[in-house]
Amino acid sequence: MNKRIKFLISVTLIFAIFVSSFILPASSFENEIEVSTDKLLLVNIDTNTEVYSKDADTKWYAGYLSELMTFITAYEMIDDLDHTTVKLDKDYLSKLPSSDGCLNLFLGKELSAKELMGIMLITSGNDAANALADLAKGGDRDAFVDEMNSRAKRYGMNDTNFVSPAYSDSDQHVITCRDLYRLYMRALKIDLYMEIMGKKSYIPESLYVEGDIENNERYTLYPEASILNINSPYYFKYVDSAKLSVTGATKQGVGMTSLYHGKRYFFAALNGLNESEKNVYADARKLISWAYLHLTDRKLISADQKVSDVKIKTGWGEYTIALYPPGSVVKTLPKDFEEYKLEYKENIPEELSTPLRIGETAGSIGITYDDEKVGTVRLSSKTEEGLSMMPDFGRFCTYVFSRLTPFVPEGSVEANSDVLKPEATLATQPPTEPPTEAPTQPVNDGITGG
C-alpha cells in the first residue's frame, strides 16, 4: 500500500510524541543491540514476560493496525462467516471510502465475510475492512467503529482509539505497543487468524479451482508484510504472523509473532524507519534472535508453594491463612541468570474479612530481576473462609486453644522461615540451529510499505 499522510496534522500530538521519546527510557534485560525504531515491545507469550520495551506506552498512529480489531469485531458480530456475502459490483466498490483497490481483482465476484477477512489481513486492504464493517453493521460503519472502541476498552487498551475500520492517518486513530500486544493476544484466541496468516499466501476459497494453475495464480494474494514473504530479502522464517502499518512514506509500524523450538514471542514496533538497513524488520530480526539465543524459561514458584500469610479477622477473633499462586509461576530470564538479582515484593493487606472464596485474590507478589519488572502474580487461599459452619467452628476451636497455649517466639517457628527461591531451570536445550541474525546490509525490496 502506498498511502501518504496528510501534510497538515496535529502539531500538538507530534510534539508530545517527540518529547516523550526522550523522557521514557528503554526497559529490558541487558543486551547490546542497537535499534532504530522509537517504540518497541518484545514479550514471551508463553510466560507473559516482557523482555524488552522502549516507549511501549507512547501513542502513535494506528494506521492499518486497526484492521486487527476489525477482524475481531467482525468475527464476533457476524454469525455465519461462510454464508454472509457481498456482491462486489462497480456500484458497491465505487462507494467504499478511502478505496485502495484491493477488491478490484474480484470485480463481479461474490465473496463471504471469511474471504474478506483473509484479503484484509494479508494485504492490509481498506476496501475489505470497510466491506466487513458493512456486513457486520448493515452499512453503519460509525456504529461498527463504536463496537471496535468498546472492545478496546474491554481489553484494557486504554491508550487506543479508532476512527475507522480501515487505515486512517487521523491523530485520533492511535495505539501503543503495549495495547497492540493486548489486541494481538485477543486475535490469537481466534483460530481463524493463524489459519489465514500461517499460510503466508491467500486465495479466496470460492475462487480456487483444482488443477487450474492460471486461475489460482491470478487470485493468489501475498503478504504486505515482507518479513512473511519468502521472496523478500526481509523474510525471517521464524515469524509466523505479522500485520504491517505505514505512516506516510517514511515511517513503519508492525505487530508480529514468532515461533522457534516451541517458544512464542510477540514483537511490536511503532514509528520505525523505512530504510534499507534501518526498519522495523531489521529490529525484529535482531531482538527476536537475541531472545531465542540468550533467554530461557525458569520456574520461580511451584503451584503448591506457600508464598505468604494473611490475617483473617472475624467477630470472635483472628487467625492467619496461607496464600498461594494460581499455578506454577514460570518466567523468562537470562540464561546466565544470577539468583541474587531476583527480588520478590509482597503486596499483602494487613487483614481480610470473611467471606473469602477459594481462588479469590487476597494479595499479590511482584517479581523483578536486576531491577527490571518480570511480572506480578496474584495470590489466593486454597480454603474457603466464612462460608461453611464446620471449618469455621474448627477455626474457632483452634483460636481458643491458641489463647490457652504459652507464647512461642515467632523466630523459632521453622515454617515462618520460608524464602522464595527459583526452582531448577526448565528443560530448555540450547538451540541446535540458532536463528539467523539480521543481515548487516539487507537489500531494499522496493516495496514502500513493507
Could you report the per-residue pLDDT of 80-107, keeping only the tens digit for each? 999 999 999 999 999 999 889 999 999 9
Q: How confident is the model at residue 23 (pLDDT cuts 50, 70, 90)?
A: very low
Q: DSSP letters of 146-200?
A: HHHHHHHHHTT-TT-B-S-SS----TTSEE-HHHHHHHHHHHHTSHHHHHHHTTS
Could you tell me which residue, 442 or 234, shows the higher pLDDT?
234
In terms of DSSP bridges, do strands 295-301 and 329-334 run parallel, antiparallel, or are they unpaired?
A: antiparallel
Q: State residue 67's pLDDT score.
A: 97
Tell me 436's DSSP state. Answer: P
Cα 382 from Cα 384, distance rounded (Å): 7
With bands split at pLDDT 50, 70 and 90, how would you rate the model's confidence at 222? very high
Whether pLDDT at 167 is above 70: yes
Distance CA 107, CA 112 (A): 14
Q: List Cα–Cα distances, 41 to 21, 190, 386, in angstroms.
A: 14, 22, 44
- Burial letters for 351-377: b for 16+ Cβ neighbours within 10 Å, e otherwise? ebeeebeeeeebbbbebebeebebbeb
Residues 226-254 have a mean pLDDT of 90
- Checking if the pLDDT of 385 tops 90, the result is no
For residue 96, give every residue at least 6 positions away whose Cβ sits within 8 Å of its Cβ, in sequence order, or none: 103, 126, 127, 130, 131
Give the Cα separation of 450 and 430 in Å (integer). 32
Three-state DSSP class for 342?
A: strand
From CA 66, how far away is CA 160, in angstroms rounded? 10
Q: Is the dihedral of CA 126, 131, 136, 141 positive or negative?
A: positive
Q: Beta strand 351-353 with 308-313: parallel, antiparallel or unpaired?
A: parallel
| pLDDT at 334 exceeding the cut of 90 | yes
d(C-alpha 100, C-alpha 247), whole Å: 15
Give just the sign of the alpha carbon dihedral 261, 230, 194, 269.
positive
DSSP structural state of residue 249? T
Integer Cα distance of 383 and 398 in angstroms: 16
β-pair partners for 112: 85
- Residue 404, pLDDT > 80, answer no
Domain boundaries, the chain: 11-295, 302-417
Among 399, 402, 309, 311, smallest CA distance to 354 is for: 311
Number of residues assigned to the chain: 450
pLDDT digits (tens, 9 = 90+) for 209-219: 999 999 999 99
- 302-417 has the same fold as 11-295: no
The per-residue b/e assignment along 268-299, b for 16 or more CB within 10 angstroms, e otherwise, is bbbbbbbeeebbbbbbbbbbbbbbbeebbbbb
Burial of 98 (0-12, 13-18, 19+ CB in 10 A): middle
Residue 76 neighbours by CB under 8 Å, 6+ apart = none
274: pLDDT strictly greater than 50: yes
According to the model, what pLDDT value does residue 297 have? Answer: 96
At residue 199 the predicted structure's pLDDT band, cuts being 50, 70 and 90, is: confident
Which CATH architecture describes the domain 302-417? Answer: Sandwich (2.60)
Predicted local distance difference test score (pLDDT) of residue 277:
84
CA distances for 174 relative to 17, 63, 171, 180, angstroms: 12, 8, 7, 10
Residue 402 has pLDDT above 90, yes or no: no
Whether this prediction's pTM lies above 0.85 is answered by: no
d(CA 243, CA 280): 12
Chosen CATH of 11-295 out of 3.30.530.20, 3.30.70.20, 3.40.710.10, 3.30.365.10: 3.40.710.10
**Mean pLDDT of the chain, nearest integer:** 84
Pairing of strands 342-347, 351-353: unpaired
